[in-house]
A and B are shown apart, each in its own frame.
Chain A
């Protein structure tokens, strides 16, 4: 028996008794409480393309089936990612803070900017990074406490992904936790008791990020081109003007790369420990067959789904699966739902580390905006787990995961 996604009776009852027209699956409470699963399950069955009249994030369409998400993802002519229209998140940033980046940008501008950083993630360069990842993973794991409780997220997930980012940017090593902080600040919704209390505080920290990177950028621009992300951007014809001529795009690209490299792999690495603890038969299978790491990694990326959604904005009126989208409508593609679409993935709620086609998932998105660093993310997870299995017979989750 494989483990399954937990869904409390209360959440299920609520999801199936709430009128569909009152559904607001973007409500952050559902994610904090981990009670969103039955809501998406019902939407996939009864209203796979659903209109929410509004809540914290205003009105929006939800697209919840795998193939429908693929259709939206590849229809760049109709569904825009442009920051000026709202960008890629369900939350509309205040207009003055809508920073463009190559993920929040349509063609023709998107391609050349993405192409600037893509060489970091080619097979040849990944070969070079692999040695570094293995060495750092070993060091971090060798210094973990044994037979005592510790914070896995901070000591392993955050530390290793932050180190990776510092390598990619050739960032000052001792100050690398600034990257973690800027990633957290960038993705948070300001509020009392949160990562930052106000939008002003958030923007002040992001300005600090821009200034810090600006100084590094200026230095790299004066030096011969190197193979770090900052040098690549400082020398590329597609991006070298951004620091002076388009500071919002400059900061947007930086925060995109920081968040993309930090937040997602960190979450999956933490989620992998939870997944294996919730599914002890799979953990046993992995320990006894370490070669299953090859399929375990994409399975956990699907199962955990580090990024719940991406948003697009309709550029024209269009009928989609019998629903009428209007120009300007917000369209949210729920990866966290598509990854559990039973029409595409057999027994999707089960965590099965030896699936036959484990790469059938939407966690990296699809189309021209598919995660540029997806192979690096997979590589990191694979190497870290190879090193974990060499060292530890068991890592036990002793408390409920906190979901900020």
Chain B
């Protein structure tokens, strides 16, 4: 099932506006992540120039844009990332928190331009993406 056109447009529009106001979301996203999940700061201690953080954020944005669009790759991307991160002890729930953090950063950047439609679309997106994460968790449970 594809994302409804109105929701897709709202998500893409919000990300485009955010990109206009901030060339690189990386510092904002991770500062917020470290507030929400302080234990994650240590995972990036060898990344002083934000290259690892930046590439992870880019993958997440790719997944969000794909999800808001054709939904060709997001499910498989999240499925693979949840499983490969799990091996290092990264909790799958962190993925949900990360997607939420991205939405909150975009919302704060947009200020008055953040619309009810965007708000609703991001909330739905988070719920739907969580289903993808849960799929990966179930698959891992089967393997044990």
Contacts and interface: CB of A to CB of B under 8 A. Distances in A.
Interface of A: 70-71, 73-76, 107-112, 114-115, 118-119, 121-124, 126-127, 294-295, 298, 357-360, 366-368, 370, 372, 375, 379
A122 B73 contact: no
A368 B86 CA distance: 10
Interface residues of B, number: 28
Nearest to A360: B55
A205 to B, nearest CB: 30
Nearest to B58: A357
- Chain A interface mostly: helix
Please classify the interface of chain B as helix (H, G, I), strand (E, B), loop, or mixed, using the class held by over half of its residues.
helix
Nearest to A294: B49
Interface string B66-91: 00000011001101100110111100
A118 B43 contact: no
Question: Which residue, of A71, A359, A375, has the highest number of chain B Cβ atoms within 10 A?
Answer: A359
Contacts of A73: 80
B48 interface: yes
B139 A357 contact: no
A295 B79 contact: no
Contact of A122 (B48, B49, B79, B88): B88
B2 interface: no
Contacts of A366: 80
25 contacts: A71-B73, A74-B73, A74-B80, A108-B142, A108-B143, A111-B83, A111-B86, A115-B86, A115-B87, A118-B89, A122-B89, A123-B43, A123-B45, A124-B42, A127-B45, A357-B55, A357-B58, A359-B52, A359-B55, A367-B80, A367-B84, A368-B80, A370-B84, A372-B87, A379-B46
Contacts of B143: 107-112
4 A-B pairs closest in CB distance: A108-B143, A118-B87, A74-B76, A367-B80
Nearest to B82: A368
B51 A359 contact: yes
A298 B76 contact: no
